[in-house]
Structure 1
Amino acid sequence: MEKKSILILTLGTSLLFGCSPTTLLPIDLMYDSEKVEAYYENGEFEEALAYVDERIEKYPRDASLHGERGYLLLELGRADEALDSLDKSLELDPALESALSNKSWALNELGRFEEAIDFAKEAINIKPDGDMEYINMGNALSAMDRDQEALTYYEEALKINPNSEYAFYGKGVANYYIGEYKAALEAFNKYNKLIPGDIDALWYLMYTHDGIGNFEEVVAYSNQIIALDPSQIDAYYYKGSVLVDLNKLEEAVNVYDTVIEKFPESPSGYYGKSRTLMYMEQKEEALKLLAKTIEIDPNYGDWAYEDPMFYNLIEDDAFLEIIGY
Structure 2
Amino acid sequence: MKRFLSFISLYLIFTAGFPQPSDRNARRLFSEGCDNISRNKYSEAIRNFSDALKISPGFLEAYENRGVAKYYLMDYKGAIEDYDKALGINPNDFNTYGRRGWAKYRLTDYNGAIADFTQAIRGADDKTQYYNIRGQAKYQLGDFEEAISDFDKVIITFSAGKYQKSMALYWRGMIKIELGRKESGCKDLKEASRLGLEQADLLIQVNCR
Query: TM-score, normalization: structure 1?
Result: 0.53
Amino acid at match of 1:287: C
CA distance in 1, matches of 2:171, 2:139: 10
CA distance in 1, matches of 2:15, 2:172: 40
Report the equivalent of 1:305. 201
**What is the Cα-based RMSD across aligned positions, in Å?**
2.9
- Residue correspondences, number: 191
Structure 1 position 315, deviation (Å) = 4.6
1:34-58 superposed Cα distances (whole Å, 9 cap, x missing partner): xxxxxx99x9xxxxxxxxxxxxxxx
Structure 1 position 209, deviation (Å) = 0.7
Structure 1 position 236, deviation (Å) = 0.9
CA distance in 1, matches of 2:56, 2:32: 16
CA distance in 2, matches of 1:200, 1:286: 31
Structure with the higher helix share, 1 or 2: 1
1:292-316 superposed Cα distances (whole Å, 9 cap, x missing partner): 3334x1x12x21135xxx3xx6455
Report the equivalent of 2:48. 153
1:5-51 superposed Cα distances (whole Å, 9 cap, x missing partner): xxxxxxxxxxxxxxxxxxxxxxxxxxxxxxxxxxx99x9xxxxxxxx
Report the equivalent of 1:272. 171
CA distance in 1, matches of 2:181, 2:152: 16
Closer/same/farther in 2, CA of residues 156 and 232 from structure 1, 3 Å limit: same
Equivalent residue for 1:207, pick from 70, 85, 102:
102
- The 4+ residue runs of structure 1 with deviation greater than 4 A are none
Query: TM-score, normalization: structure 2?
Result: 0.79
1:173 maps to 2:72:
no
Closer/same/farther in 2, CA of residues 275 and 264 from structure 1, 3 Å limit: farther
CA distance in 2, matches of 1:166, 1:286: 43
Report the equivalent of 2:3. none
Higher RCO (CA < 8 A, seq sep 6+): 2
Paired-residue identity, %: 22
CA distance in 1, matches of 2:126, 2:46: 33
Report the equivalent of 2:122. 227
Structure 1 position 230, deviation (Å) = 6.8
- Is contact 2:95-2:120 (8 Å) kept? no
Gaps of 5+ in 2: 1-13
Gaps of 5+ in 1: 4-39, 44-97, 99-126, 320-325
Greater CA drift, 264-273 or 150-159: 264-273
